[in-house]
């Protein structure tokens, strides 16, 4: 039973506005109502025995939940969509759906830290072995596949360091060996990378980031192709996962402006990265949309755009100088969860997380999120920050 408007033939921007909405069945209200429901009542004994409706039990979804599922599927593709309480939970649930004791998992060395941690702790305890691999490995991943390899996880570009992966080449090898490809598609969002056109079987989003877009709600989504959806759906049900209706409402509200926001984040991100790359204090920039990026060609081949998240490597400075720069910033907040309307910066040391590759870049890494503020104000804030860095160094 479709909840929202039929959006199949619409262009993407129109889908963003209309998918999952059905004002006619909601007294004309533009946005879907927030259903707070656990108990669902059945009108007759016959209905109880053989339910005819999609809404059957609060945890398994209400029209509010189905509206977001339908909207995400309209944009990302896939045969089904599950909504979960966080982006990390989308990663862990997708992995649990396909892995059993004795199985082997391949995980990029540049993966989001908490996803990595889940492999090294929970999955290890459950008897699943993880091998971390160089994210730029491409088709050479064949050398790491074993008869037990059930999942090849990809995240492109990588968290913090922005390596772009050759997902079609990796997917070909994975499929030839009977393994499934699970993608963390958070950076690109469903608009800038189309997972099911590049060999991905299951795609997750930290909807917390750009879908919600306002830095105020935790939420995750998992879509899957026809073959993989039954296992994802089963795992989601068996684990008893669901998200709160008010949070889902905020995700639906955020989604309607995703296209305009993301294009502006992209523009501002490229401009900031370029500007930073020209500064003496900066050694180099890690932004897939810049021609200087080592896998820029793969990004240009596979992606439809870039989000506002990128990193720069500073020339070596003492920690005091870094603190002087960061502490005085007025517009760039220091915080980890990104994708909201505001600009952010966090220092990080990728070397701490690596095992399959080494990160021996001498300078400190700063990860930026380009928000929607005026570019002149953002540059002036950073200009003063870099002056403090220089003065303290
Ligand atoms: C933030 C993030 C997550 C986790 O999302 P939460 O909603 O914070 O749990 C997963 N993957 C990537 C790439 C992220 O940036």
- Catalytic-residue membership of 59: yes
d(CA 367, CA 365): 7
Whether 202 is in a domain gets the answer: yes
Q: Tell me how far the alpha carbon of residue 118 lies from the centroid of ligand 1, in angstroms.
A: 13
Check the CA dihedral 270-271-277-278 and report its sign.
Answer: positive
Whether 287 is in a domain gets the answer: yes
- Count CA within 13 A, CB hemisphere, residue 140: 6
Per-residue pLDDT in tens (0 to 9) along the chain, 393 residues? 345 667 878 999 999 999 999 999 999 999 999 999 999 999 999 999 999 999 999 999 999 999 999 999 999 999 999 999 999 999 999 999 999 999 999 999 999 999 999 999 999 999 999 999 999 999 999 999 999 999 999 999 999 999 999 999 999 999 999 999 999 999 999 999 999 999 999 999 999 999 999 999 999 999 999 999 999 999 999 999 999 999 999 999 999 999 999 999 999 999 999 999 999 999 999 999 999 999 999 999 999 999 999 999 999 999 999 999 999 999 999 999 999 999 999 999 998 889 999 998 989 999 999 999 999 999 999 999 999 999 997
Instruction: Say which CATH number the domain at 181 has.
Output: 3.40.640.10
Do residues 91 and 239 share a domain?
A: yes
Do residues 99 and 47 share a domain?
A: yes
Do residues 231 and 85 share a domain?
A: yes
Give exposure, 105-132, as e/b (b: 16+ Cβ within 10 Å). Answer: bbbbbbbbeebbebbeeebeeeebbbbb
What is the phi/psi pair of residue 253, to 5°?
-65, -45
pTM for this one?
0.97
Do residues 279 and 180 share a domain?
A: no
320 and 328 Cβ atoms separated by less than 8 Å: no
Do residues 200 and 116 share a domain?
A: yes
Do residues 251 and 269 share a domain?
A: no
Q: Tell me how far the alpha carbon of residue 324 lies from the centroid of ligand 1, in angstroms.
A: 29
Whether 2 is in a domain gets the answer: no
Domain boundary among 224, 240, 255: 255
Do residues 198 and 286 share a domain?
A: no
Do residues 97 and 240 share a domain?
A: yes
Domain boundary among 255, 271, 303: 255
**Among 95, 202, 206, which residue has the most ligand 1 atoms within 8 Å of its CB, making it the best to mutate?**
206
Q: Which domain holds residue 251?
A: 11-255
H or E, element range at 44: none
Do residues 140 and 210 share a domain?
A: yes
Do residues 217 and 298 share a domain?
A: no
Given the CA of residue 89, which atom of ligand 1 is nearest to it?
Answer: 9
Whether 6 is in a domain gets the answer: no
Do residues 371 and 248 share a domain?
A: no
Q: Tell me how far the alpha carbon of residue 90 lies from the centroid of ligand 1, in angstroms.
A: 9
pLDDT score of 344 = 98
Query: What residues are in contact with ligand 1 under a 6 Å CB criterion?
Result: 86-88, 91, 112, 155, 159, 184, 186, 206, 208-209, 218, 220, 337
Query: How many residues in the chain?
Result: 393
Whether 290 is in a domain gets the answer: yes
Provide Rg for the chain, Cα atoms. Answer: 22
Whether 5 is in a domain gets the answer: no
Give the number of domains in the chain. 2
Ligand 1: which residue has its CA nearest to atom 7?
A: 87
Give exposure, 57-73, as e/b (b: 16+ Cβ within 10 Å). Answer: ebeebbbbbbbbbbbbb
pLDDT score of 2 = 47
Do residues 219 and 298 share a domain?
A: no
pLDDT score of 303 = 98
Q: Which position among 103, 184, 247, 259 bears the catalytic label?
A: 184
Instruction: Say which CATH number the domain at 270 has.
Output: 3.90.1150.10
Whether 4 is in a domain gets the answer: no
Domain boundary among 255, 281, 298: 255
Number of Cβ atoms within 10 Å of the Cβ of 345: 21
- Catalytic-residue membership of 112: yes
């Amino acid at each position: 039973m479709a909840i929202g408007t039929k959006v199949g033939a619409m262009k993407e921007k129109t889908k963003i506005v209309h998918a999952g909405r059905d004002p006619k069945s909601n007294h004309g209200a533009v946005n879907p109502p927030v259903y707070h429901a656990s108990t669902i009542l059945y009108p007759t004994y016959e209905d109880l025995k053989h339910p005819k409706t999609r809404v059957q039990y609060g945890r398994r979804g209400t029209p509010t939940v189905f509206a977001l599922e339908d909207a995400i599927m309209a944009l990302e593709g896939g045969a089904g969509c599950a909504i979960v309480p966080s982006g990390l939970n989308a990663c862990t649930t997708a992995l649990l759906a396909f892995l059993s004791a004795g199985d082997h998992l391949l995980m990029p060395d540049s993966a989001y830290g908490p996803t990595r941690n889940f492999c090294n702790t929970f999955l290890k305890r459950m008897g699943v072995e993880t091998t971390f691999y160089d994210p730029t490995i491409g088709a050479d991943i064949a050398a790491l596949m074993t008869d037990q390899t059930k999942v090849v996880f990809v995240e492109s570009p990588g968290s913090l360091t922005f390596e772009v992966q050759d997902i079609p080449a990796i997917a070909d090898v994975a499929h030839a060996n009977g393994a499934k490809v699970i993608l963390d598609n958070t950076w690109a969002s469903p608009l800038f990378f189309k997972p099911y056109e590049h060999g991905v079987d299951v795609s997750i989003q930290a909807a917390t980031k750009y879908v919600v877009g306002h830095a105020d709600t935790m939420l995750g989504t998992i879509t899957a192709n026809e073959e993989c959806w039954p296992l994802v759906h089963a795992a989601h049900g068996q684990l008893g996962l669901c998200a709160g209706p008010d949070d889902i409402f905020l995700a639906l509200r955020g989604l309607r402006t995703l296209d305009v926001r993301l294009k502006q984040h992209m523009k501002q991100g490229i401009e900031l990265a370029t500007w930073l790359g020209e500064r003496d204090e900066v050694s180099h920039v890690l932004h897939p949309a810049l021609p200087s990026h080592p896998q820029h060609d793969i990004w240009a081949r596979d992606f439809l755009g870039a989000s506002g998240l990128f990193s720069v490597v500073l020339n070596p400075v003492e920690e005091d100088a870094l603190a002087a720069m960061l502490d005085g910033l007025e517009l760039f907040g220091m915080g980890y969860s990104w994708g909201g309307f505001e600009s952010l910066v966090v220092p990080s040391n990728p070397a701490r997380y690596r095992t399959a590759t080494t990160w021996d870049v001498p300078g400190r890494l700063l990860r930026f999120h380009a928000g929607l503020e005026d570019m002149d104000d953002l540059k002036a804030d950073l200009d003063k920050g870099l002056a403090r860095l220089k003065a303290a160094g």
